[in-house]
A and B are shown apart, each in its own frame.
Chain A
Amino acid sequence: MGKILILGASSDIAQETARELAAKKNNLILTARNIEDLQMLKSDLEIRYGIEVTTKQFDGLDFDNHEQFFNGIVAEAGNLNGILLMYGAMDDQKEAEQSFSISRNMIDVNYTSAVSILNIAANYFEKKKSGFICAVSSVAGDRGRQSNYIYGSTKAGLSVYMEGLRNRLHKSGVQVLTIKPGMVDTKMTYGVVDEGPLLASPSTVAKDIVKGIVKRRDVLYTPWFWFVIMLIIKLIPEKIFKRTDI
């Protein structure tokens, strides 16, 4: 059986997604910048689900090493069934406005590094004529808002990149799935965003992601109602939108 590669496996959503995939008996390769962060997840998945888990160090910003990293993964696993890109950076908008290095960090982590590693993965899956490529973008990439447009624009770039990749890989039978989560109850939002019906649990999002992969979806808003919310937000004419404070 092939393996699934999860880049950035220590985030809340990634951990839950790994559990969902493991419950379906997929063997996993988990990466993080610091692989110590993955030790507990590894033992947990192996004990709970009886699957094989390997952990690898991966730094999205270490562009020069991406080729070697990916080839090494394929050589060791023999066969990759899919890749999920689940890391990202969300810095403070106000600080990013004042500091290009903060803006650039978000651009490089969320966009540049994704292009770098997914280009390589795309060539592999295109040749193999099967598999899936999944990346976590955000509803924030659907429309620029004053409160987080720098982050949003990096995710918008990622969404369009994925859209193009989907177009390219369609004839090869490779699924390209863009995940657009709304607000998720993670460490980042705890105490910042009030609990309420809009705040989804990481496990709900993870279940949706795995369902999206199984059903070979293209774009997935999770939870589903974000599709409706973003549809409305996208329909607001710019003339009006620029005056809003949403």
Chain B
Amino acid sequence: MVKPVKKKMAGWGKYPIESCLVYRPESTQDLKKILSSQKEKQIAYGLGRSYGDTALNEDEGISLFNKFDHMLSFDEESGILTCEAGVSLEEIINIFLPRGYFLPVTPGTKYVTVGGAIANDVHGKNHHLDGCFSEYVLEFDLLLASGETISCSRVENTDAFWATIGGIGLTGFITRAAIQLIRVETSYIKATYEKAENLDVAFEKFVENDANFKYSVAWIDCLSTGNSLGRSVLMRGEHALKEELPAKVKEPFKPSKGSVLKMPINAPSFALNPFSISAFNALYYASFKNETKIVDSSSFFHPLDAIDDWNKLYGKKGFIQYQAVFPKSNDPKSGIRKLLERLTEEKCSSFLAVLKSSGPANEGLLSFPMEGYTLALDIPIKDGSLFPFLRELDEIVLSYGGRVYLAKDATIDPETFKKMYPKWEEFKKVKKELDPDGLFSSSMSRRIGLT
């Protein structure tokens, strides 16, 4: 029998915290039983690395995917991996990087499941050249509300395919997927660090050189003001070739170390104040030189993973990550400048502000990226005054034709959502066909008026 346990659950930002009925199925058979009992609404929960409420279901059902962690097949020649949806990107890297294969797209943390990566259509530092995770998803199995499993790809059940890509778990349970890994010569990255004294310079260098680097991201000091508003460190890189490794590196595929540090407790709220954050930002900026060096891939792609539970840094009240994309066609620099100005005025920003460029949008009906630039910010929740401020940011983003990323969102309202994701109606149509009784639903989907 599969029974749920009532538990308080949260995403990575620890806001909101909701009481959910948590199931822990172990097989597709179990998932079918959960669906056929039709007791509650259901949503899948991967590793909970979305920040807000996409994987939450207040007073309704959540199915954990941690038992769906089996590798099903791997073709050494083509690099095509088939695995269950609960396999994490960390496991894929640990197993296949030593064999010369890497993930074609990896987000800023490797503690993400394959199912979660599809359902949010995650992007990495190479979006401008390589697109989203879905680009490398050849097919996946989707368990529908009816209990039937369908295989979805670019040629089979295409509507379901493009609704599920970025579809925040609302079309069904993804049970397995086939993904294409890429070949690499080493597990190292040749990384180039370059400082930019303000936003104009950062943009100039970004735009100029984007196409020359596979991976590209800029960290912004979002508390600098005036002439140095938007001063940044551009961090860009390529997979290092064997011949580029320094002589002292004996193994081209050194296995990565696990997490080393652990946040023991929630940081007290006074630990984060404009002073400590601006001191951190200044120090961080100063710690970089303009240089090119060989670094190991985990520190390049997943630096935050080195500290377990770093989200506790923001204290008990949690935090919001606000990530917005500004389309290239609509003066994105001025949009980003406006956002940064409002943040510095409000003195509510953070350690982490990241600028990335993104390539063209794909066909995913609710997929986030579109050609342009994205800015991501961590904003600690001190009190309720943050929420009206976030609505103000939404207005700025909307006025530039941009949108916020659902994987990070916890607060936008239905009107804003519908303006930001104009294909929502098309999505709803496909969802209706796949899930006529609306069995799949989440706290987020109800909040934004999708279910």
Name A's B-contacting residues (CB within 8 A): 40-41, 43-44, 47-48, 187, 190-191
Question: Contact: A43 with B3, CB < 8 Å?
Answer: no
Question: Contact: B5 with A48, CB < 8 Å?
Answer: no
Question: Contact: A47 with B3, CB < 8 Å?
Answer: no
Across the interface, B4 reaches (CB within 8 A) one of A40, A47, A48, A191, namely: A191
Question: Contact: B5 with A191, CB < 8 Å?
Answer: yes
12 extra A-B contacts, CB within 8 A, seeds A40-B70, A40-B84: A40-B72, A41-B70, A43-B70, A43-B73, A44-B69, A44-B70, A47-B71, A48-B71, A48-B95, A190-B3, A190-B5, A191-B5
Interface residues of B in 57-75 (CB under 8 A from A): 69-74
Inside 8 A of B40's CB, which chain A residues have their CB? none
Give the complex CA separation of A40 and B5 in angstroms. Answer: 27
Give the complex CA separation of A44 and B91 in angstroms. Answer: 12
Give the complex CA separation of A66 and B263 in angstroms. Answer: 52
Name B's A-contacting residues (CB within 8 A): 3-5, 24, 26, 69-74, 84, 95
Give the complex CA separation of A43 and B87 in angstroms. Answer: 14
B92 to chain A, nearest CB (A): 10
A90 to chain B, nearest CB (A): 14
Give the complex CA separation of A190 and B26 in angstroms. Answer: 11
Across the interface, A190 reaches (CB within 8 A) one of B24, B69, B71, B73, namely: B24
Give the complex CA separation of A40 and B74 in angstroms. Answer: 13
B261 to chain A, nearest CB (A): 22
Question: Contact: A43 with B71, CB < 8 Å?
Answer: yes
Inside 8 A of A48's CB, which chain B residues have their CB? 71, 95
Give the complex CA separation of A94 and B62 in angstroms. Answer: 32
A80 to chain B, nearest CB (A): 26
Give the complex CA separation of A150 and B295 in angstroms. Answer: 60
B131 to chain A, nearest CB (A): 26
Taking A41-B70, A43-B71, A43-B72 as contacts, is the C-beta distance between A187 and B84 under 8 angstroms? no
CB<8 Å pairs between A and B, sample of 26: A40-B70, A40-B72, A40-B84, A41-B70, A43-B70, A43-B71, A43-B72, A43-B73, A44-B69, A44-B71, A44-B72, A47-B71, A47-B72, A47-B73, A47-B74, A47-B95, A48-B71, A48-B95, A187-B24, A187-B26, A190-B3, A190-B5, A190-B24, A191-B3, A191-B4, A191-B5
Inside 8 A of B4's CB, which chain A residues have their CB? 191
Inside 8 A of B26's CB, which chain A residues have their CB? 187
A229 to chain B, nearest CB (A): 24
Inside 8 A of A40's CB, which chain B residues have their CB? 70, 72, 84
Inside 8 A of B72's CB, which chain A residues have their CB? 40, 43-44, 47
A203 to chain B, nearest CB (A): 11
B68 to chain A, nearest CB (A): 9
The residue on A at minimum CB distance from B25 is A187
Give the complex CA separation of A93 and B225 in angstroms. Answer: 71
Inside 8 A of A187's CB, which chain B residues have their CB? 24, 26
Give the complex CA separation of A187 and B69 in angstroms. Answer: 16
Q: Report which residue of B3, B4, B70, B95 has the largest number of chain A beta carbons within 10 angstroms of its beta carbon.
A: B70
Give the complex CA separation of A190 and B72 in angstroms. Answer: 26
The residue on A at minimum CB distance from B87 is A44
Q: Sort A-B residue pairs by CB-CB distance and give the 8 closest, nearest first.
A: A44-B70, A47-B71, A40-B70, A191-B3, A191-B5, A44-B71, A47-B74, A43-B72
Inside 8 A of A190's CB, which chain B residues have their CB? 3, 5, 24
A17 to chain B, nearest CB (A): 15
Inside 8 A of B70's CB, which chain A residues have their CB? 40-41, 43-44
Give the complex CA separation of A187 and B67 in angstroms. Answer: 10
Give the complex CA separation of A191 and B5 in angstroms. Answer: 5
Inside 8 A of B24's CB, which chain A residues have their CB? 187, 190
The residue on A at minimum CB distance from B82 is A43
Give the complex CA separation of A44 and B84 in angstroms. Answer: 10
A222 to chain B, nearest CB (A): 21
Give the complex CA separation of A130 and B315 in angstroms. Answer: 56
The residue on B at minimum CB distance from A46 is B71
The residue on A at minimum CB distance from B91 is A48
Give the complex CA separation of A41 and B67 in angstroms. Answer: 11
B9 to chain A, nearest CB (A): 13
B345 to chain A, nearest CB (A): 45
The residue on A at minimum CB distance from B24 is A190
Inside 8 A of A43's CB, which chain B residues have their CB? 70-73
Inside 8 A of A41's CB, which chain B residues have their CB? 70
Give the complex CA separation of A43 and B71 in angstroms. Answer: 6
A10 to chain B, nearest CB (A): 10
Give the complex CA separation of A190 and B24 in angstroms. Answer: 8
Inside 8 A of A47's CB, which chain B residues have their CB? 71-74, 95
A172 to chain B, nearest CB (A): 38
Give the complex CA separation of A47 and B26 in angstroms. Answer: 20
Inside 8 A of B71's CB, which chain A residues have their CB? 43-44, 47-48
Give the complex CA separation of A57 and B85 in angstroms. Answer: 27
Inside 8 A of B84's CB, which chain A residues have their CB? 40
The residue on A at minimum CB distance from B94 is A48
A232 to chain B, nearest CB (A): 30
A112 to chain B, nearest CB (A): 27
B91 to chain A, nearest CB (A): 8
B47 to chain A, nearest CB (A): 16
The residue on A at minimum CB distance from B30 is A187
Inside 8 A of B73's CB, which chain A residues have their CB? 43, 47
B387 to chain A, nearest CB (A): 33
The residue on B at minimum CB distance from A190 is B24
Give the complex CA separation of A191 and B30 in angstroms. Answer: 15
Give the complex CA separation of A165 and B73 in angstroms. Answer: 41
A178 to chain B, nearest CB (A): 27
Give the complex CA separation of A191 and B84 in angstroms. Answer: 24
Give the complex CA separation of A40 and B29 in angstroms. Answer: 14
A3 to chain B, nearest CB (A): 21
